[in-house]
Amino acid sequence: MIKIRKALESELDWIRKQRVQAYEEHSQSVPESHWFALKQSVTSDADAQPGVERLVADLNGEIVGSVALFPAKLDAYKGLVDTLDYPEIRMLAVSPQARNKGVASALIHECIKQAKVNGSQHIGLHTADFMEGAMRLYERMGFERLPQFDFQPADDGIIVKAYRLSIKQDHAELISCSKH
């Protein structure tokens, strides 16, 4: 069973290394400059900013995935995107051996739950076409494109695409979420 919990400070180095392993499959399908920018992004300490929630997926006592949930109005992309009025899912990573077990979905659902509890009406994320599996998952979950928040981090023609999900506030559901 997948258990989602807050990451411990002592786990951050491991989580950042795992992110690189999770994203490494894309290193051959993008220009070297883009891979460098992506690797720099997922290993940066951007997730250590105040208000960022770092979550891990624990499967049988092993961390098999992680995500960072950036609060609304925080510069999650160091000036590459306008500051957004809703939380942003970033650095979602699942170890290659734990794929297709619901880990990414569990991490995203926990982010959505936290955004609802905090009163957000939307939650966003960014991804690129070379992350085909991730894009399919986000679209299946109901995330919609917001091209006005796209950006190009490495000046190489690869567009990092913005998505947003409307998360309606349901009073009964919020009460249920806040009890757990």
Range of 113's domain?
Answer: 2-179
pLDDT at 82: 63
pLDDT at 41: 87
pLDDT at 171: 38
pLDDT at 175: 39
Burial class (CB in 10 A: 0-12, 13-18, 19+), 178: exposed
pTM attached to this predicted model: 0.87
**Burial readout 85-117 (b: 16 or more C-beta within 10 A, e: otherwise):** ebbbbbbbbbbeebeeeebbebbbebbbbbbbe
CA pair distance 178, 115, nearest whole angstrom: 11
pLDDT per position as a tens digit, 62-104: 999 999 999 988 765 665 566 778 999 999 999 999 999 999 9
- Number of domains, the chain: 1
pLDDT at 27: 92
pLDDT at 70: 93
Q: How far is CA 25 from the centre of its chain?
A: 17
CATH for 64: 3.40.630.30
List all residues 6 or more positions away from 62 whose beta carbon is below 8 Å from its beta carbon: none
Which residues of the chain are under the pLDDT cut of 50?
171-180
